[in-house]
Amino acid sequence: MKKNKVDKNWQYAHANDYYVKKSKIDGYRSRAAYKLIEIDDKFSFFNNAKNAVDLGAFPGGWSQVINNKYEHIDLFAVDLKELIDIPRVNFIKCNLISDYEDNFIILKNFLPTNLDIVLSDMAPNTNGNKTSDHLLSMELCEIALEVVSAFLNEGGKFACKIFIGGEESDFVIKMKKIFKKVCFFKPKSSKNSSREIYLIGLDKINII
């Protein structure tokens, strides 16, 4: 009964969430769309960009934002669950955390090697254990950073969701070797109770 009560409380809070309601009015598939809009407003993310990849794209909120606001951007989307009915999306069905090496080869056959933007809203299937959820989140971040290293242009930009938990400091050090500017960003549309935050990498360095 206690679990059912928690589930009902979550469902009620979710249904009455401002950004959930707004997403339905605006036609976005998830409240996450507003997180990308805020990232773009803060960091002018899509200025002069010609292409981008959306890692962990399902259900498609971020891809919708790019498709709706930036018709000039050639958009690639990656997820295990397929996106449907979003125009102009080059989609690949791929589970990056399972059989990673084989799936990375798939990406090499799919993605251009001159991306201007890498976006990762990937999140693990959480189990309520903050430590394990955090470590799984950091594993996904490491995968996203490998995509950055393999495909992102010099001067390119990177946004990556993480769950704060103590191990992110080493990841930030790695990012600072790749980008001229690295910062944390918590969108207003991200729930205050959530441990999620975004790491932003600006102006990728040409590493010889």
The whole-angstrom separation of Cα 136 and Cα 124 is 6
Continuous H helices in the chain: 2-15, 18-26, 33-43, 61-69, 100-108, 130-151, 168-176
Give first-to-last CA distance, the chain, whole Å: 59
The whole-angstrom separation of Cα 171 and Cα 169 is 5
161 in catalytic set: yes
Backbone angles phi, psi at 52, to 5 degrees: -160, 155
The whole-angstrom separation of Cα 19 and Cα 46 is 22
The encoded tokens of residue 44 equal 């002018």
| CA-only gyration radius of the chain, Å | 17
Catalytic residue from among 35, 157, 161, 204: 161
The encoded tokens of residue 146 equal 């490998």
The encoded tokens of residue 114 equal 């001159």
Bridge-based pairing state of the strands 179-185 and 196-204: antiparallel
Where in the sequence numbering do the catalytic residues fall? 161
